[in-house]
Amino acid sequence: FIELLNRVSVSLNQPKYPKTVKQQYSPEEIEAGLRNHEFVLHYQPQICLTTNKINSVEALVRWQHPKDGLVYPDQFISVVEKHNLIELMTQEILNISVKESSAVIQSSLEVSLSINVSADNIIALSLPEQLKALTDKNHLAPHNLTLELTESAVMGELTSSLDVLNRLRMKGFHLSIDDFGTGYSSLQQLYQAPFTELKIDRQFVSSMLFDEEAMIIVKICIMLGKMLNMNIVAEGVENLETLHELQHLGCNFAQGYAIAKPMAVNDLIRWAEQW
């Protein structure tokens, strides 16, 4: 294990696939779109690699733009975060997803729901109470809701975020560390915050079959997650070979185009009936 760690420690500091960020919408346009309820959610299923059953769905936001059609998060999330719109957006997403999840549950699909949250959501001290009130009102058990946080979301203001994370956990919500391995202090956060799930970043998963270093990182994440008694999710599973290898390596859950792309709620229900 230590040997594996040493072999990747150098390459971890040099991201191979830097993110590019387009910014083409103004905060005013985005805010108007949010207030007009133009944002929608697509859901991507996550399957259990032991039972092959659908375990949960991740809600991914899109903007149904009146002129430009469906706009993806890389074209607005950074503006949303920079201009104090994330609380408004997260409220909107929570309202939509909690309501839509009742439709999913009524379709007799027993799955839990994962939501992405940003740094500013996690320092809002009333978040645990707000979430509890919302899930109670919509008959969703807290253990069926997972909040996905990236490492940078927690790092901003560590003390207040830890307080909020601990209170969320005490109320029964699950916490997932998203894009694991891409931030700067993953291990410190695993150590300090009450995460129950580790999501291996897709840059490692999608290249693990042809890139030895990516494979090592995936193996380490699985070992680490197991030793810390966490659920391990591989995201960005693009083909069946990768899916089978992850199964073989003891990864718990998988998500990616090999299983399904993110879909609107009605398509998700239809898809799940065929699965």
Phi and psi, residue 195, nearest 5°: -70, 145
Of 192, 125, 202, 197, the C-alpha closest to 158 is: 192
Q: Pick one of ligand C2E, Ca ion, none as the site partner of residue 117 (Cβ within 5 to 8 A by kind).
A: ligand C2E
For 144-264, where are the alpha helices, taking DSSP H only?
151-155, 158-170, 186-192, 202-205, 212-227, 240-249
Residue span 221-240 as binding mask against Ca ion, x where in contact by CB under 5 A, dash where not: --------------x-----
Closest CB to ligand C2E among 39 and 167?
A: 39
Which one of Ca ion, ligand C2E, none interacts with residue 181, CB within 5 to 8 A by kind? Answer: none
Instruction: Decide: is 148 part of the binding site for Ca ion (CB under 5 A).
Output: yes
Half-sphere exposure of 255 (CA within 13 A, CB side): 23
Q: Is 178 in the site for Ca ion (CB under 5 A)?
A: yes
Q: Is the separation of the CB atoms in 226 and 192 below 8 Å?
A: no
262 contact choice in Ca ion, ligand C2E, none (CB below 5 to 8 Å, kind-dependent)? ligand C2E
Q: Least distance to Ca ion from the beta carbon of 186, Å?
A: 13
Q: How far is the CB of 165 from ligand C2E (least distance, A)?
A: 16
Q: Provide Rg for the chain, Cα atoms.
A: 18
> Which is it for the CA torsion 20, 13, 162, 112, positive or negative?
positive
- Residue closer to ligand C2E by CB (options 44, 144) is 44
Q: Which of 44, 101, 116, 118 binds Ca ion (CB under 5 A)?
A: 116
Beta bridge partners of 112: 56
What does the binding site for ligand C2E look like in residue numbers (CB under 6 A)? 44, 60-61, 72-74, 77, 93, 116-118, 148, 178-179, 202, 206, 235-238, 256-257, 262
Residues 159, 161: Cα–Cα separation, whole Å: 6
In the shown chain, the binding pattern of residues 186 to 215 toward Ca ion, with x for contact by CB under 5 A and - for none, equals ---------------xx-------------
Dist. CA 51–CA 47, nearest whole Å: 8
Count CB atoms within 10 A of the CB of residue 234.
31
- Residue 3 CB, nearest approach to ligand C2E (Å): 29
HSE-CB for 37 with a 13 A CA cutoff: 3
Please identify, using beta-carbon distances, which residue of 29 and 81 lies nearer to ligand C2E.
81
Binding residues (CB under 5 A) for Ca ion: these are 116, 148, 178-179, 201-202, 235
